[in-house]
């Protein structure tokens, strides 16, 4: 029986996870890892929900669960008169979220892929022919039943598929990330909505956490030369301790980007190429994992019914299923960002809203459900 041919392009987390998830489907899969000239290591830490952790555990054989640090406690604070007040907290007996180091997890997934039947190739993509579903590399060309493109946020190849139809916004903010060594017991995940921008604490080890501070450019530019001491002072004040040390500081500009077109013919975009959202809610990679889960479900259903992937509606069905949630959550996070921006006239009203929010059991349940399951 002729195998269905699928090509996944991209060596980031999206491409590697997509390949591993689909590797058990009896498909003929090529994974093309584009030659990457960037020497910058991804030292960030990523958050995923309990539901998405279950998806990875159930679909990726021998995944190392020790790489995923569980958290049972989450606290949210807002700044008032240079003090922080807790307006929402979750303290449960079960794991609410998991945090992992991108670099270590990517290395682990790459090793798992070498144990599969997937053909891994390092090539440079020159172009794609959507009419023939063909990929042209620097050495050859080949046609497939389905193309899955996971080339990051800004690949020019996407232009053929999505054109310029997207919602896009430059936030005029930078995300400052770093790792922090500490001796704080049971720190949990925390989010501080500060006048400079939201600051998140993501524990990925008993004595280490990552900081993601989405800071407005006016503060970033002003303190760029002394960013380490500026960040350490801020963290010491928030956590009420000086016993912390910072390392691996990186920064990158923030934007909102939500594609309108997810596919063309049998070529699908996945990952940051589809949606880039503000990091304040920790939902960016959770959206990507839900996209991968839906693609896996659609392919599985197709194979079970004995249908060919090449002549299927998989790209359209994926778009119809996932686009509404991705748009709503992306724009919802954008609205949340606007709500928490400092404004001396609106801050008293916001404080009243947040005080009422903290007293509502229903709103707390809804927030927890959306963070874990999305809008499903």
**DSSP output for 150-176:** ---S--GGGHHHHTT-EEEEEEEEEEE
pLDDT tens, the chain, 376 aa long:
568 999 999 999 999 999 999 998 889 999 999 766 455 678 899 999 999 999 999 999 999 999 999 999 999 999 887 788 888 888 888 899 999 999 999 999 999 999 999 999 988 888 889 888 889 888 789 999 999 999 988 888 888 888 878 899 999 999 999 999 999 988 999 999 998 999 999 999 999 999 999 999 998 998 888 888 989 999 999 999 989 999 989 999 999 999 999 999 999 999 999 999 999 999 999 999 999 999 999 999 999 988 889 888 999 999 999 999 999 999 999 999 999 988 777 888 888 888 888 788 888 888 888 888 887 7
- How far apart, in whole angstroms, are the C-alpha atoms of residue 343 and residue 358? 21
Q: How many domains does the chain have?
A: 1
- Domain coverage including residue 218: 5-373
Tokens of 222: 């002003």
Which CATH number covers residue 211?
A: 3.50.50.60
Q: Evaluate the CA torsion angle 109, 114, 117, 118 in order and state its sign.
A: positive
What per-residue confidence (pLDDT) applies to 139? 77
Q: Compute the Cα dihedral for 217, 222, 227, 230 and give only its sign.
A: negative
- CA nearest neighbour of 34 among 273, 257, 248: 273
> pTM of the predicted model, to two decimals?
0.94
């Amino acid at each position: 029986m002729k195998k269905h041919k699928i090509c996944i392009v991209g060596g980031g987390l999206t491409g590697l996870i997509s390949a591993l998830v689909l590797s058990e489907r009896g498909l003929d899969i090529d994974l093309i890892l584009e030659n990457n000239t960037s020497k910058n290591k991804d030292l960030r830490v990523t958050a995923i929900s309990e539901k998405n952790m279950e998806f990875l555990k159930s679909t990726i054989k021998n995944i190392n669960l020790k790489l995923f640090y569980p958290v049972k406690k989450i606290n949210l604070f807002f700044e008032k008169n240079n003090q922080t007040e807790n307006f929402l907290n979750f303290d449960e007996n079960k794991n609410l979220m998991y945090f992992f180091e991108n670099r270590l997890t990517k290395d682990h997934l790459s090793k798992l892929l070498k144990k599969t039947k997937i053909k891994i190739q390092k090539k440079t993509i020159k172009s794609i022919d959507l009419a023939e579903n063909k990929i042209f590399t620097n050495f050859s060309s080949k046609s497939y039943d389905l193309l899955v493109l996971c080339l990051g946020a800004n690949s020019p190849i996407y232009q053929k598929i999505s054109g310029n139809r997207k919602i896009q916004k430059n936030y005029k903010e930078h995300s400052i990330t770093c790792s922090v060594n500490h001796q704080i017991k049971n720190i949990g995940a925390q989010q501080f909505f500060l006048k400079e921008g939201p600051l998140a604490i993501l524990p990925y080890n008993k004595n280490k956490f990552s900081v993601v501070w989405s800071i407005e450019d006016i503060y970033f530019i002003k303190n760029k030369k002394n960013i380490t001491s500026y960040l350490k002072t801020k963290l010491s004040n928030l956590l009420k301790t000086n016993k912390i040390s910072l390392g691996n500081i990186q920064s990158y500009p923030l934007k909102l980007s939500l594609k309108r077109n997810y596919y063309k013919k049998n070529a699908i975009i996945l990952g940051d190429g589809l949606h880039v959202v503000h990091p304040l809610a920790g939902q960016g990679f959770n959206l990507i994992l839900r996209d991968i889960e839906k693609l896996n479900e659609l392919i599985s259903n197709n194979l079970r019914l004995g249908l060919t992937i090449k002549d299927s509606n998989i790209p359209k069905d994926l778009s119809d299923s996932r686009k509404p949630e991705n748009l709503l959550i992306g724009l919802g996070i954008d609205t949340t960002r606007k709500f928490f921006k400092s404004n001396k006239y609106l801050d008293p009203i916001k404080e009243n809203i947040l005080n009422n929010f903290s007293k509502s059991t229903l709103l707390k349940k809804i927030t927890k459900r959306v963070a874990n399951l999305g809008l499903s």
